[in-house]
């Protein structure tokens, strides 16, 4: 009887131990950056240690997890204004009618590696990500980077996808010439 009670107590203690919180902050930050917004925010609600990590880890802002919320634009704006880490990924498919230029200039998106936008028009400020982008997906853009400089460089770009995009020929040449190789683009 005592052995059974001891095993039950030992099992309960093991279940209560939060082993993932014992990982170094850098590893936890990487884990959080790979999660969608709603998944990354949950641990921050439960643990004080995760709260700081979520705000400073590379941001993965995908509005797919926010599309059903009536105040999704305000939530995304708040995330961008409060996030202290660099940007890893920005994917906007469901949020429309926002000051995209203001969002693009947000420090929370510094060093962005992946961008996936489906919007009416792109502000020229999106080119601030050119030096760090690895993946760029643009769709449903009626006026794609209208005032693009003659040369823009995408030294790390591995994938460029343009779908239902209206652009001038010189803009297309400028973007493609800035890719590391024609195979990457």
- 184 — pLDDT class (breaks 50, 70, 90): very low
pLDDT of residue 146: 67
- 183 — pLDDT class (breaks 50, 70, 90): very low
The total of structural domains in the chain comes to: 2
Same domain, 123 and 51: no
Contact 85, 29 (CB under 8 A): yes
Same domain, 181 and 102: yes
- 111 — pLDDT class (breaks 50, 70, 90): very high
Domain boundary among 57, 79, 97: 57
Same domain, 8 and 77: no
Same domain, 105 and 168: yes
- The mean per-residue pLDDT over the stretch 105-112 comes to 92
Q: What is the pLDDT of residues 113-166, one digit of tens each?
A: 999 988 777 788 888 999 999 999 988 877 666 666 666 788 999 998 988 888
- The mean per-residue pLDDT over the stretch 164-171 comes to 82
What is the span of the domain harbouring residue 49? 1-57
**Which letter, b or e, does each residue of 127-165 get, where b requires 16 or more Cβ atoms within 10 Å of its Cβ?**
bebbebbebbbbeebeebbeebeeebebeebbebebeeb
Same domain, 46 and 76: no
Same domain, 120 and 150: yes
């Amino acid at each position: 009887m005592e052995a059974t009670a001891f095993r039950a107590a030992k099992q309960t203690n093991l279940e209560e131990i939060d082993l993932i919180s014992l990982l170094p902050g850098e590893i936890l930050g990487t884990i959080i950056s790979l999660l969608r917004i709603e998944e990354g925010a949950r641990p921050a609600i439960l643990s004080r240690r995760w709260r700081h990590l979520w705000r400073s880890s590379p941001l993965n802002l995908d509005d797919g997890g926010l599309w059903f919320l009536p105040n999704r634009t305000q939530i995304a704006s708040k995330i961008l204004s409060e996030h202290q880490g660099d940007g890893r990924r920005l994917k906007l498919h469901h949020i429309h009618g926002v000051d995209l230029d203001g969002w693009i200039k947000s420090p929370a998106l510094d060093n962005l590696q992946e961008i996936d936008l489906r919007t009416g028009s792109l502000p020229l400020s999106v080119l601030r990500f050119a030096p760090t982008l690895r993946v760029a997906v643009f769709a449903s853009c009626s006026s794609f980077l209208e005032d693009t400089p003659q040369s823009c460089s995408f030294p790390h770009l591995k994938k460029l996808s343009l779908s239902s995009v209206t652009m001038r020929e010189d803009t297309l040449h400028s973007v493609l010439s800035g890719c590391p190789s024609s195979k990457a683009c």
